Structure 1
Amino acid sequence: MTGTPPPAGRRPTAFRLDDRKVRLTDDEDKMPSADEALITQAFLEDDEPRLPRTASTPKSGFKFGKWLIIGLSGLVSLTIGLAVDSLIRDLFARTDWLGWLGVALATLAALGLLGLALREVAGLMRLGKIDKLRERLSEAAENDNASAATSGLKELLALYRDRPETAQGRKALAGHMREVIDGRDLIKLAERDLLGPLDLEARRIVMNSAKRVSIVTAVSPRALVDLLAVLFENLRTIRRLSALYGGRPGTLGFLRLARQVLTHLAVTGGMAAGDSLASQVLGHGLAARLSARLGEGVVNGLLTARIGIAAIDVCRPAPFVSGTGPSISDFMGELVSLAKKEDPQDTN
């Protein structure tokens, strides 16, 4: 019995499953030697026919929710328009100069609304461009594609061409692109010379935010204050990291970015990982040396740091190729040291 066909020139041979010459393998293309048999994982799995994927896929019907939103938005817009029209007519009925003043103010408001809409669209397009650039560079690094890496790095240089603090890194990277022909190495050099200073500042932003959350939640008397402080710091950190890496999102772009961060946390299991790590650290003697409030502050600081790490992964226009990026352990030591300094019960 074997899960792979015998090599050419080899006669069929019977083996017992408990024979030492029978081995399991995950490689279905691997050929057995003359005196052994290979059992693949696919051979052991159940080969019963399965229903098509469409059988468990929800069918898309009419988007009644979208109809509701569009209808309500239209009614609100008509209400505002009619109210403005009625106001301007009343102003003209009183005196002409009040009517023209109302027209000027309405025009100014319309221009402001148009500007906000254009800024939101530009912010969404910028975030989409960064997401696509990160995917392209990740694929170029994985396949070691020099042409794709060069094309993506040119877009990265264009993204930071108006940032004076990146001038030295852009100059160094431009020189590397003329000399280095390996795609993966080019992306590593971009990570070191161009994105390195930004990564260092991003770590400082996350570390300072985690410290503030740790201190505030340790000294605040009410849970509502803790919740508001954590929410404010996390949103502030996401916006600052996005601006640091070139996102500069508007309101809609920021909401999209926050959703991407939460999705990233859900996919990577980041919240659970951070909580588990914090519990492990506190369980190895830290809880015995810190008060309950300061211990809770450390945990909240670590979770804030984990959200910051997820925001770095989402906002960064290039993947981490030469390393894995920041981790919880990078922030834990400083948070624990800060908690010990603030703890009046610490006698060490």
Structure 2
Amino acid sequence: MSNDQPRRPAAFRLDHVKVVDDPEAALRPSDRPVVIPEPEDLSAAIVAPKPKRPFRWANILAGALGILVSLAIGLAVDGLVRDLFQRADWLGWFALGVAGIAAVAVVAIAIREIAGLLRLRRINRIRDAAEDAARRDDRTAARAVVRDLSALYGERADTAHGRAALERHAAEIIDGRDLMALGEHEILRALDVTARTMVLAAAKRVTVVTAISPRALVDLLFVLVTALRLIRQLGQLYGGRPGTLGFLRLARTVIAHLAVTGGMAAGDSLVQQILGHGIAARLSARLGEGVINGILTARVGIAAIDVCRPLPFLAEPPPAMGDFIAELTKLNAGKMKPGAES
């Protein structure tokens, strides 16, 4: 039978708390209250191994063809420069200078593309670390995530106030998940508002244009161009700044995310959302098609936010399709006035 007496209630300030990992510290006298963190759940730290990427002959074929095309271009340029030198020295030197400028441009483009890919990889690494730290509520890992998040936006003036507030209050947060939630609130909240505005503006633009467009092909091209442009804008907003290769990789990731989360049309759930707002009853068939296209554009935008955002949604509410559907319904319901349709 234990002889320990129950501890009496006491009031104290959080900045006077002493956090230690030694369980025996609570038995020793101290001038400050002692807090011992709970042991981490080891089962949560067990992560399933990532599947190995399959060996693909298509990648080898693409690499080999790329090398052959590069050699062919090099030989063609070399032959052209030699022929021009035989005709006139000044033509040869001019062609050689142009070839040098082209080579410098190729190197600059390659550096830009590599930098864009590295930025996207950096964002993915921060998000993976944040998800792992939130699952385990690891304070040490959360501190590293918050530090990387601040460094990611260290050169952006629009995040300076949030980064300063995060630095002031980070030492006061004990739980790792709460610490990342603070970083999310201080740094990413303003970016989330801008991202929602971008998605809504793109969805409204698609809704209006496709509602008045006479050709289905024009509708398809406009929706595709708008969706790709929206993906690039969201990538730049959240710090990715992808180049051409980075943008293609980002677009592929967004499409994969859409497939995993239920596809663009989302089957029954999307139909239920549309019917729940009474679009079919209030809008004409053409305006209804515009609303559907706008909803699909918003769906792409939500998936792009999930992919481009360096942190998962922990404390801030994620964008909801219902908000965009309500706005698009208001937009098109306003067009349904007497004399609006012929």
TM-score, scaled to structure 2: 0.80
CA distance in 2, matches of 1:141, 1:64: 39
In structure 2, the partner of 1:251 is 244
Is residue 214 of structure 1 aligned with residue 202 of structure 2? Answer: no
Distance across 2 between alignment mates of 1:214 and 1:85? 53
Give the CA deviation at 1:128: 0.8
- Which of these residues, 276, 283, 303, is aligned with residue 290 of structure 1? 283
Aligned to 1:337: 330
Letter in structure 2 aligned against 1:210 = A
1:100 aligns with 2:93: yes
Return the alpha-carbon distance in structure 2 between the equivalents of residues 66 and 83 of structure 1. Answer: 26
Amino acid in the other structure paired with 1:257: L
8 A Cα contact 2:195 2:237, kept in partner? yes
**Within 1, Cα distance between the matches of 2:121 and 2:184?**
20
Tell me, yes or no, if the aligned pair for 1:261 and 1:314 is still in contact at 8 Å. Answer: yes
User: How much has 1:133 moved relative to structure 2?
Assistant: 0.4
Give yes or no for the alignment of 1:268 onto 2:261: yes
CA offsets per residue over residues 195-219 of structure 1, 9 Å max, x none? 0000000000000000011111100
Structure 2 residue 217 is the aligned partner of structure 1 residue 224 = yes
Aligned-pair identity in percent equals 56
CA distance in 2, matches of 1:146, 1:59: 32
Match of 2:63 in 1: 70
The 4+ residue runs of structure 1 with deviation greater than 4 A are 57-61
- Amino acid in structure 1 at the alignment position of 2:301: G
SS in 2 for 1:271: coil
Contact 1:278 1:302 in 2 (8 A): no
Name the residue aligned to 1:238: 231
- Residues 332 and 285 (structure 1), Cα distance of their counterparts in 2 relative to 1, 3 Å cut: closer
- Please say if 1:185 is aligned against 2:181: no
Does the residue aligned with 1:342 lie in a helix, a strand or coil? coil
Q: Could you say what secondary structure the match of 1:194 adopts?
A: helix
In 2, Cα distance between the equivalents of 1:58 and 1:149? 28
CA deviation profile, 1:309-329 (whole Å, cap 9, x unmatched): 000000000010014400101
- Alpha-carbon distance in structure 2 between the residues aligned to 1:117 and 1:59: 25
Q: CA RMSD in A?
A: 2.2
Aligned equivalent of 2:130: 137
How far off is 1:283 after superposition?
6.3
- Whole-Å separation in 1 of the counterparts to 2:80 and 2:325: 60
In the alignment, is the contact (CA less than 8 A) between 2:113 and 2:242 conserved in 1? yes
1:54 matched residue in structure 2: none
Contact 1:210 1:302 in 2 (8 A): yes
Unaligned ranges ≥5, structure 1 = 1-56
Q: CA deviation at 1:291?
A: 0.9
TM-score w.r.t. structure 1 length? 0.79
1:319 paired residue number: 312
- Structure of greater Rg: 1
